[in-house]
Chain A
Amino acid sequence: MDILITSITNSIELFIKYHRYYLRGTGITLLVSFFGVFLGVFFGLLLALMNLSKNKILKGISRSYINFIRGTPLLVQVFIVYLGLPLVGFGFMPDLWLVIIAVSFNSSAYVAEIVRGGIQSIEKGQTEAARSLGMTQRMAMRYIIIPQALKNILPALGNEFIILIKESAIISVVGIHDLMYQTDTIRGISYRPFSPLVFAAIIYFIITFSLSRLLNVFERRLRAGDQSI
């Protein structure tokens, strides 16, 4: 019993001593996740629209891209982007940008599939009504289909955000100073291999759990708008 109490006190002391590392790491993790999600949704929407278009070439590009991303590990993708982009003239980019690009490329493929499902779940009659009123296909998408689809896919999208925050730990392998990287640093300099990891896990959990709560509230507010069924 005494051993347990001592080890907990020691751990807390360790956390207090190195809390700046955790703070900085958490900042980078949040930054990468935020931009990863933001760009991921943007590209994902684009990919989904390409995928649903009648143009066979656009459709083909989008399908192959989605299949490639979903069929290869994020770890490999991060290395390919991180080491590959500088080879083709993007050497000027800071490391942080490179990993944000890698993460958002990955996320966009999953978001694209979610969005495609959302768009296809809207009844055909909605498009027909919009088109019968003289709207172009683009207007029908923008004002009628996508707003309804986004509302339907919000839970799935939220889930994707949460996955992305956790998966972003992989960027530590290319030396980005995110939460996981900082945790490893603390383990090294403190000669304590275990307890820093526990704090990292707690921080990841707090982020993802609060995000999922936040999304719940947001979702409920959206539903209140239409008071349906």
Chain B
Amino acid sequence: MIKVSNLNKSFDKLHVLKGIDEEISQGEVVVVIGPSGSGKSTFLRCLNLLEHPTGGEIVFEGISITDEKNDINNQRAKMGMVFQQFNLFPHMTVLGNITISPMKVKGLTKVEAEKIAFKLLKIVGLYDKADSYPSQLSGGQKQRIAIARALAMEPEVMLFDEPTSSLDPEMVGEVLDVMKKLASEGMTMVVVTHEMGFAKEVGDRVLFMDDGVIVEQGTPKELFENPKHPRTQDFLSKIL
């Protein structure tokens, strides 16, 4: 579904991604772990071109999205993204947040968009919050709305950029539960996270990144129980 070859990204003199090759298949849950500054968020943000790679190619459903002639908006509409800081639109109600893009980008009517929105609000367990503003919600609720907002575009793949990192500990569970539900329904997911429990339980594949490269990857069982690379061993020994 997504094929990444020799992906490079530099910010001025800082070389953040140093040649990444990776392929993500339909229905797969790929979890990216690694120390901070290892480039894992940048890698994720390159997948929908929020960061423009300085080298290499990304192909999504057979279309090279790094090609200059490609209109990325077509692919972004099929790639949902969830941010660490939620980034809900504060001037709109929850319902407005969820329906704006299906209406403006896909041209759905208000009735159609709201039908989808209420279905999703039920799934994330916030049906009664449709008319609330983001400022009236807790962190966990905000993130669940952000997930619903991304799902309203009926994406083929969901990208999660440290979705639980800015949450209070007691709210992490409710967000992870929604993500688990999504995974069990066969959604293709790429998740950058520090939640090793989630990686073990839900991940089909875990990538360990350090210093701009994928150092090691494997099933959660392989990677967590039998890491081969010294840097992976070192990282896991610090956090587990």
Contacts and interface: CB of A to CB of B under 8 A. Distances in A.
A229 to B, nearest CB: 6
Given A128-B50, A139-B105, A226-B133, A133 B149 contact: yes
B138 interface: no
B90 A226 contact: yes
Contacts of B135: 226-229
Contacts of A226: 90-91, 133, 135
A211 to B, nearest CB: 25
Given A129-B83, A132-B80, A134-B153, 16 more contacts: A123-B87, A125-B85, A128-B50, A129-B89, A130-B101, A131-B73, A132-B79, A132-B81, A132-B150, A134-B74, A135-B105, A139-B104, A143-B104, A148-B91, A226-B133, A226-B135
Nearest to A132: B81
Interface of B: 48, 50, 73-74, 76-81, 83, 85, 87-91, 100-101, 104-106, 133, 135-136, 146, 149-150, 153
Interface of A: 123, 125-126, 128-136, 139, 143-144, 147-148, 151, 225-229
Contacts of B150: 132-133
A227 B88 CA distance: 15
Contacts of A129: 81, 83, 87-89, 146
21 contacts: A123-B85, A125-B83, A126-B87, A128-B50, A129-B87, A130-B89, A130-B101, A132-B50, A132-B76, A132-B79, A133-B149, A134-B73, A134-B78, A134-B153, A135-B101, A135-B104, A135-B105, A147-B91, A148-B89, A226-B90, A228-B135
B54 to A, nearest CB: 18
A130 B50 CA distance: 11
Contacts of B79: 132
Contacts of A133: 76-77, 80, 100-101, 105, 149-150, 153
A227 B133 contact: yes
A195 to B, nearest CB: 50
B76 A128 contact: no
Nearest to A150: B91
Contact of A134 (B76, B133, B136, B146): B76
A130 B83 CA distance: 12
Nearest to A137: B73
Contact of B87 (A125, A143, A151, A227): A125
B76 A131 contact: yes
Contacts of A131: 50, 73, 76
Contacts of A130: 89, 101
Contacts of A135: 73, 101, 104-105
B163 to A, nearest CB: 13
A135 B153 CA distance: 11
Contacts of B50: 128, 131-132
B48 A126 contact: no
B90 A148 contact: yes
Contacts of A148: 89-91
A130 B90 CA distance: 12
A125 B136 CA distance: 19
Contacts of B83: 125, 128-129
Max chain B Cβ within 10 angstroms of own Cβ: one of A133, A144, A225: A133
A119 to B, nearest CB: 14
Contacts of A143: 100, 104
A135 B48 CA distance: 13
A143 B91 CA distance: 10
Contacts of A128: 50, 83, 87
